[in-house]
Amino acid sequence: MADKVPGTEVIEEGALLTDGEEIVAVGRRVDILSHSALARRDKEVDEAVDCAGGLLLPGLIDCHTHLVFGGDRSREFEQRLEGVSYQEISRQGGGIRSTVAATRESSEQELRSSASGRVSRMCANGVTTLEVKSGYGLTLKDEEKMLSVARSLSERLPVSIHTTFLGAHAIPEEFHEKSDDYIQLVCEEMLPSVAKQQLADSVDAFCENIAFTNQQVRQVFEKARELSLPVRLHADQLTNSGGAGLAAEFGALSADHLEYTDEAGVKALAESGTVAVLLPGAFYFLKEKQCPPVALLREHQVPMALATDCNPGSSPVDSLLLMLNMGCVMFGLTPREAVAGVTVHAAKALGLSDRGVLKPGSRADFAVFDAATLSHLCYPIGVEPPRMVVQAGCLMSPPHKLL
Ligand code: DI6
Ligand code: FE
C-alpha cells in the first residue's frame, strides 16, 4: 500500500519531450520517438540529450525553509551540547530571537549573499523550486527586507521561489509579555502591507508554548483569509497544541513538523486535504524522541512532504537529498514516499499544480541522477548530486554559478 503513491510511477527506458518551458510528452522511449509533436517538425529535434540509464525525476521541491537569515547559532549549539534545551535557550531570550537581532542588523546585500550560497548548493542538488519564510525580522521593515531578499534570489539562480510571511514566528524582545499587542501589529499593519506589495505567497505561524497560542494564530489566519492568502502552520513540533486541527480548520496548504499530532489531528488533516510536511533535520538536530505519526498519516492517506527546514537554530542543513535518507531511516518512510515527499507532495504543499510530476503541460523542471532505483537515492547518507538539472526548459550544468 505504501508503495502506491500516485505520481511516482517509474517508467523503464523512458524519455521526455519538452518545448520551451513545458513538458510536451513523457513515456517509453520508443513511443516518444514517434510522438506527433516530433513528426510535425520539419527539422530535427533542437537538442537530444542522452540520460544514459540515469534516473530522471521532477525537479526537487524544498517546501519549508528559513534560509534567509543573519548570523549563526554556533554559541547556542555549544550550550545545547552542554545539555541546555532548545526551549530553555528560547525562554532565556536566545534561540530565534538571537537570529532576529542578527537579521535586523544585516543589510539586504548581506542577507542576499549568505542566502545565495545556500540556494546555490540546493540547486546543485537538483532543487528547482523552494519556499522561503520570513520570521527573523519581526518588524514591518525587517520582514519586508527578508521577503524582498527571498524574492530576488530567483533573479540570480535557476530556481522558483515561493515566499511565506512568518511574522508570527517569535515574540520580539520589545513585545515581551505583550504578545497580543504584537499579534495586533502583525494583523493590522504587517499583513496588509505585505499583501499589498505582493511580497508573500502564503502565511505561516508558529503555534507552540514558546511562541503563539491557538487563539493568536487564529487571528493571523482570519486576517490572511480576508486578504485571500493561503495559510500553513508550524504545528505540534514540541508539544501537542492542537495545531494540526487548527491548520485543517483553515484549510491550510500544509501543517509542518507534527511530531506530537494525535489521531484526531491526522483525521482533520485528511478531511481538509492539508499536506503533512515532515522535517527530519529538526527532529535530528534537536534530538527529539517522538516521531511524527507516519503510520496514521499513511492510514488516513494524508499526503506527506519532506523538507529541510533549513534554518540556523533547529535544522542547519541545506541538503534535501540527505532528508530522503533521514525520512526513511528516522521516520520510516518508504523510498517511494520519500521521493514523493520532495516532488509531488511538496508541490501540493505549495499549492502548485504545474510541477512535481512529469506530465504534459507541467514545467520542464527535472534532474537526472546516477541511481538505478528510487531506493538508491535514499539509501546512501549523502547522494551524489544530479549529473544534469533542467529548470524551466533550460539546461543547467552543475556546478551552478551565480548569473
Ligand atoms: N520551528 C523551527 O523548526 C524553526 N522555526 C520554527 O518555528 C526554528 C527556527 C530557529 O530556531 O531559528
Ligand atoms: Fe520551520
Cα 42 to middle of ligand 1, angstroms = 55
Same domain, 239 and 329: yes
Nearest-atom number in ligand 1 for the CA of 206 is 7
The whole-number pLDDT of residue 179 equals 97
246 is a domain residue: yes
The whole-number pLDDT of residue 225 equals 98
Q: Taking ligand 2, which is a single-atom ion, which protein residues have CB atoms under 5 Å away?
A: 309
Same domain, 230 and 195: yes
Domain harbouring 70, CATH code: 3.20.20.140
**pTM for the full predicted model:** 0.96
Same domain, 81 and 17: no
Same domain, 183 and 326: yes
Same domain, 282 and 175: yes
Q: Where are the beta strands (DSSP E) in 199-308?
A: 202-207, 232-235, 254-257, 275-278, 304-306
Q: Is the CB of 234 under 6 A from ligand 1?
A: yes
Same domain, 153 and 228: yes
The single-letter DSSP state of residue 396 is E
Same domain, 49 and 163: no
Same domain, 306 and 268: yes
- List beta partners, residue 396: 389
175 is a domain residue: yes
264 is a domain residue: yes
Cα 274 to middle of ligand 1, angstroms = 21
Nearest listed ligand to the Cα of residue 286: 1
Same domain, 97 and 227: yes
Q: Are 100 and 94 in contact (CB under 8 A)?
A: no
Which of 274, 276, 272 shows the shortest CA–CA distance to 292?
A: 276
Which helix (H) or strand (E) is 215 found in, with range? helix 214-226
The whole-number pLDDT of residue 296 equals 98
Number of compact structural domains in the chain: 2
Q: Are 124 and 388 in contact (CB under 8 A)?
A: no
Cα 280 to middle of ligand 2, angstroms = 11
Which helix (H) or strand (E) is 133 found in, with range? strand 127-133
402 is a domain residue: no
Burial 255-281 (b: 16+ CB within 10 A, else e): bbbbbbbeeebbbbbbebebbbbbbbb
Handedness of CA 241, 206, 323, 367 (dihedral sign): positive
- Domain limits for position 335: 60-349
The single-letter DSSP state of residue 151 is H
Q: Are strands 388-391 and 394-396 parallel, antiparallel or unpaired?
A: antiparallel
403 is a domain residue: no
Same domain, 28 and 84: no
d(CA 269, CA 301): 9
Same domain, 377 and 271: no
Cα 96 to middle of ligand 1, angstroms = 7
Q: Is the CB of 327 under 6 A from ligand 1?
A: no
- Which residue ranges in the chain fall short of pLDDT 70? 1-4, 39-46, 397-403
Same domain, 257 and 385: no
